[in-house]
Structure 1
Amino acid sequence: MEKNITLRLRFYTVANKPMDVVLHEFEKLKSEIEPDYKIKISDHHIWLSLGILKREKYSPHLHLQLERMEDGNTAVNGLYGPDPVLWTLFIFLHFLVAVFFFIAGVSAYSKASLGQPFKIEIIIMTTMIMAWFLLYYMARKNRKKGIPEMHQLQSLMERIIH
């Protein structure tokens, strides 16, 4: 796996162990690292995150999907992602910005067609564009803050995988 996880939030690696061994080792690790880290295991999926006492709003989660390979090894597909609650909030805010932008655009078009002034609608649309850039900036900032924690989760994963 590439060491620069800041640019690759998705990765693929191979564990030179059978899938059952990998799952069992994560199960053992689960009891050793609590409450600092949280591990959830369901079928062939593993979620790694920081424990509730260490977690911040920008703390990432690591989702691992394990697949059996024909040679007996285990393929590991990993994905770093934000806290689901924070992700939902950001999606909702993006949706609101888009709705306000669309409504203001339709209103501006209607008023322009009728020959009425539409300065307020242009101000609203400009504000929504600035709000979108603000949301983008906040998301990038939160992702950057979470990089040290991504490295912690990666080293935790590598204790078992490699």
Structure 2
Amino acid sequence: MSLDKEIKLRYRFYKVSEKPIPILIENFKKLKEKLNPDYKIKILDNHIWLSIGVLKREKHSPQLHLELEEMEDGKTAVNGLFGPDPVLWTMFMFLHFIVGGIFIIFSLICYSKWRLNQNFNFDISIMIAMIGCWIILYLFARINRRKGLPQMDELEEILNKEI
């Protein structure tokens, strides 16, 4: 898997399993009991979430979401999505909305001051600082994803054994 070369922060993939959905779900239920302290597995309908257990979890630990879809020939389509911990993802989205909101507010203030022929240097500097914050948030997310690559490989290995 060449995740490190990808630009996307949330890696998606598609696989086909020869096993039908009920057998896959049953296998993951058995696996849930077997891997309990090291890995956490949640199952809801045709959705399965694999994540690192509490003992091994770090702030950059990934989560794997699987969606199982039945195909016409009896096989199962497995749509996977690697992503960060939902709490971390929510924090990142909250910070992005704050930075975006500040940028929009100061761009409106800057435009108003420009139209009124007033000094708007402070507003421009805040807007540039917000662009810098966006870049820092993006780089921080890339660094966290790179730190989580070994654990992503662990989760994918578990998935490949079961499908």
Q: Into which bin does the TM-score normalised by the smaller protein fall?
A: over 0.9
Match of 2:34 in 1: 32
Match of 2:56 in 1: 54
**More deviation, 125-134/105-114:** 105-114
Deviation string 1:115-157 (CA, Å, 9 cap, x unpaired) is 1111110111111111111011101111111111100000011
User: By how many angstroms is 1:87 displaced?
Assistant: 0.7
Match of 2:72 in 1: 70
**Whole-Å Cα distance in 2 between the matches of residues 74 and 112 of structure 1?**
59
User: By how many angstroms is 1:31 displaced?
Assistant: 0.5
Match of 2:116 in 1: 114
**Whole-Å Cα distance in 2 between the matches of residues 74 and 115 of structure 1?**
64
The SS at the match of 1:41 is strand
Deviation string 1:47-82 (CA, Å, 9 cap, x unpaired) is 000001111111110011111222222111111111
- Please, what TM-score do these two structures have when normalized by structure 2? 0.93
The letter of the residue matching 2:109 is S
> Which of the residues 2, 20, 24 maps onto 1:4?
2
- 1:82 and 2:84 equivalent? yes
- Please, what TM-score do these two structures have when normalized by structure 1? 0.94
> Which of the residues 20, 43, 46 maps onto 1:44?
46
Match of 2:102 in 1: 100
Count of aligned residue pairs for this structure pair: 159
The letter of the residue matching 1:4 is S
Structure 1 segments of 4+ aligned residues over 2 angstroms from their partners = 3-8
The SS at the match of 1:55 is coil
User: By how many angstroms is 1:19 displaced?
Assistant: 1.2
Structure 2 residues not aligned, in runs of 5+:
none
User: By how many angstroms is 1:113 displaced?
Assistant: 1.4
**More deviation, 19-28/69-78:** 69-78
Match of 1:20 in 2: 22
The SS at the match of 2:56 is coil
Percent identity over the alignment is: 54
Structure 1 residues not aligned, in runs of 5+:
none
User: By how many angstroms is 1:86 displaced?
Assistant: 0.7
